[in-house]
Structure 1
Amino acid sequence: MTQPIPDVLAPAKLGPVTLRNRIIKSATYEGLSRDNKVTDALIDFHVRHAAGGVGMTTVAYCAVAPDGRTDRKQILWTEDALPGLRRLTEAVHAEGAAVSAQIGHAGPVANPKANGAPALGPSRHFHATTTSFTKAATRADLERIIKAHGHAARMAIRAGFDAVEIHLGHNYLASSFLSPRVNHRDDEYGGSLENRARLARAIAREVREAVGDRIAILAKFNMDDGVPGGFWLDEAIQVARWLEADGSLDALVLTAGSSLLNPMYLFRGDVPLREFAAIMPQPVKLGVQLVGKRFLKYYPYEDAYLLPLARQIRAAVKLPLVLLGGITGKPVMDVAMREGFEFVAMARALLREPDLINKIAKDPQASSLCIHCNKCFTKIYGGTSCVLVQP
């Protein structure tokens, strides 16, 4: 017998949490934290999305260690940060939505100059955006970072979060270990897929051990790095099976692309080269102006553009899956539900219209106003927003 197609606007269970609908505001770095703490502006950002109707909003990015930040202002899991985090979760809950904290270590994507510490990776690697080399992480580094994820998850419970989302994507630390393009180690963390997946699995198990079933645990997981020789779908299927067998996750959020090597693979649509160059310091600014098209590549936009990849993961595991990438309205949400995905995640469409879900609830044919210009991508360090919306 065929299973009934879920109503994306109806309540749904995510691990131990019941969401009022199956729509998640995806993690997009807000650029609104200061001194590693929550600000009123960050609270207002998530309250807008909660009031706009999403089932859950995701706070990004909350680094598990100081050397894991991509921006020195990012939230760190310290006692000083807890009061602000509690104000944020309480404000979101007051609007009827759940709230998740994205936790992770940026690894080779981290900003070593701003952090005052080397960026860590599986191997030595040159990062063009920071014009610096990563340091190969030691076993002691990895043990420290694994434990830091558990600490962050426990603090998330104290702060009132309903879920955490472990960052296993975009060539952040755990994702960089998965990638044969970046990981050239010859120890137990390199070589075979089982070895390259060791860190991601250990992090997820540490978080599960830390929180049990008190909150939901998701992981943002790369299906494809978007670069030759990188982590790709065939290996992603096997790692998804291992994560499912480990019992460490309540859902996988399926993503793609490398912040290190090919960021536009995730952000399909226009490439705002001029605007991107404007926010970069020299000499990166000049590099973007001269050869930016080689790094920021154009990929045409279409609704549900990650579905062909995600469909392969869906066929391989029973673990709940979150489809993101080109989710712009109820028709494409219904496609995701028919294809067996339990949840959908949205980012750019909600930056353009934080109240889009309320509009869809009133009119299922309501269309997103997002034009996929990707200029929001260039505003992440000054307050992420749609450039077409008047402040």
Structure 2
Amino acid sequence: MVTSVPDDVPDVLAPARLGPLTLRNRIVKAATFEGATPDALVTDQLIEYHRRPAAGGVGLTTVAYLAVAPEGRTERRQIWMRPEAVPGLRRLTDAVHAEGAAVSAQVGHAGPVANAASNRRPALAPSRRFSPLGMRTTKAATEADIARITEAHGEAAKLAVESGFDAVEIHLGHNYFASAFLSPKLNRRRDRYGGSLANRAAIARAAARAVRDAVGDRIAVTAKLNMDDGVPGGIWLDESLQLARWLQEDGTVDALELTAGSSLLNPMYLFRGKAPLRQFAATFPQPQRLGVRAFGGRFLIEYPYQEAYLLESARQFRAAVDLQLILLGGIADLATARRAMAEGFDFVAMGRALLREPDLVNRYAAGTSSTSLCIHCNRCMPTIYSGTRCVLVDPAPLRVAPPDRDA
């Protein structure tokens, strides 16, 4: 941790440009699934979830997750982008704008991370494989599926503009649809979407192109990109660096938010710290609860937590591309955010720290705090089933949405 930065380093609390957008500072509320849409439409709870960090001083808050197709949801209570969702989303963006912040829509397709049992539709993947998320076998996406999903990214982006969003974040990480195609482990195809990196990257690039063509320069376009999957045989830095270069050459995105891990195979690789097995198990009925407690450690693998734990990998992207970069992963201290600026990053993204203290950025600006009270216990993670929150602050959900365990 550095204690000072050179005078010419951008001020993390000063206004900054993101594509065509001017943000009041360089701190982004990262997309963290809210668990606040029981009917797959905007609720007052979802609006309040984003209004609070907006009032608390962030430059940009990110709504997660807005699927581009109904089968692209991780479970059926998530919003999917359609005309019926626009009025509620407009209420949300108006509420965020009233607090002086900007707001981004994270769009994408969950692919093999989708819960087929919940969605009552097959989960689409590069290749067939058993998915423990829905206890079903995924369906290998056809070329018609791929074309439809690519086009749906553009249509979702148009609806985001209509809804008043200032930016769109394309989900290219965590082994969701585009990310699964990038993974050599998950993509065993022998057609034009498998084999070489150029083939495996075609969907990610096409989705980004569809979004850019849909919105032009009216709003900012970013992409959440896996640096590595954290899984043997998954994508690694050499390939993800090349994809970053291609996205820059394509001119489709204004910035990359750098992430890691697989929601399908290794989710804790992104979060780091303790895995709240007991709390996750409590969201399941018996006998699954006993199974999660007994064997969940094989899925929720614990990794040591430290500040800016993705920085070492992200440095390689800073050296490789000229795109604006958003540093994610274990950023809770103002000194860490300033360190990111000193190392050439343009923005920092916070998740858990802002769940603990939605007004943290205002505290930074006022000089009353320089570090988050978040203890990285990860007990917020299981609350996605009942309204995502810090349990140390909000022990009970604002509105209970029972876990979706339909078979």
Taking structure 2 as the reference length, the TM-score comes to: 0.94
Q: Aligned equivalents of 2:221 and 2:281: distance in 1?
A: 36
Deviation at 1:330, TM superposition (A): 1.0
Q: Which among 266, 291, 294 is matched to residue 298 of structure 2?
A: 294
| Correspondence list, 1:45-64, <5 A | 45-64=49-68
Q: Amino acid of the residue matched to residue 212 of structure 1?
A: G
1:330/1:364 contact within 8 Å kept: no
Deviation at 1:285, TM superposition (A): 3.4
Q: Which among 122, 128, 133 is matched to residue 126 of structure 2?
A: 122
Q: Which among 314, 320, 324 is matched to residue 324 of structure 2?
A: 320
1:85 aligns with 2:122: no
Residues 222-242 of structure 1, C-alpha deviations (whole Å, 9 max, x = no match): 001001110111111111000
Deviation at 1:282, TM superposition (A): 5.8
Name the counterpart of 1:36: 40
Q: Aligned equivalents of 1:379 and 1:308: distance in 2?
A: 30
1:184 aligns with 2:188: yes
1:223 aligns with 2:200: no
Name the counterpart of 2:289: 285
Q: Which among 152, 159, 163 is matched to residue 156 of structure 2?
A: 152
1:71 aligns with 2:69: no
What 5-or-longer segments of structure 1 have no aligned partner?
Answer: none
- Write out the 4+ residue segments of structure 1 that deviate beyond 6 Å after TM superposition: none
Q: Aligned equivalents of 1:27 and 1:182: distance in 2?
A: 24
Q: Which among 283, 306, 324 is matched to residue 310 of structure 2?
A: 306
Name the counterpart of 1:100: 104
Q: Which among 370, 376, 384 is matched to residue 380 of structure 2?
A: 376
Deviation at 1:281, TM superposition (A): 5.0
What 5-or-longer segments of structure 2 have no aligned partner?
Answer: 1-5, 397-407
| Total equivalences in the alignment | 390
Residues 65-85 of structure 1, C-alpha deviations (whole Å, 9 max, x = no match): 000011211112122111111
Deviation at 1:291, TM superposition (A): 1.7
Q: Which among 156, 163, 166 is matched to residue 167 of structure 2?
A: 163
Residues 146-201 of structure 1, C-alpha deviations (whole Å, 9 max, x = no match): 00000000000000000010000000000000000100000000000110000000
Identity of aligned residues (%): 66
Q: Aligned equivalents of 1:285 and 1:118: distance in 2?
A: 25
Q: Which among 132, 143, 149 is matched to residue 136 of structure 2?
A: 132
Q: Aligned equivalents of 1:119 and 1:3: distance in 2?
A: 51
Q: Aligned equivalents of 1:5 and 1:301: distance in 2?
A: 27
Q: Which among 330, 336, 340 is matched to residue 332 of structure 1?
A: 336
Name the counterpart of 2:365: 361
Q: Amino acid of the residue matched to residue 295 of structure 2?
A: V
Please say which of residues 78-87 and 137-146 is displaced more in the overlay: 78-87
Could you say if the C-alpha distance between residues 125 and 284 of structure 1 is closer, same or farther in structure 2, counting changes exceeding 3 Å? farther
1:193/1:235 contact within 8 Å kept: yes
1:164/1:216 contact within 8 Å kept: yes
Q: Amino acid of the residue matched to residue 318 of structure 1?
A: D
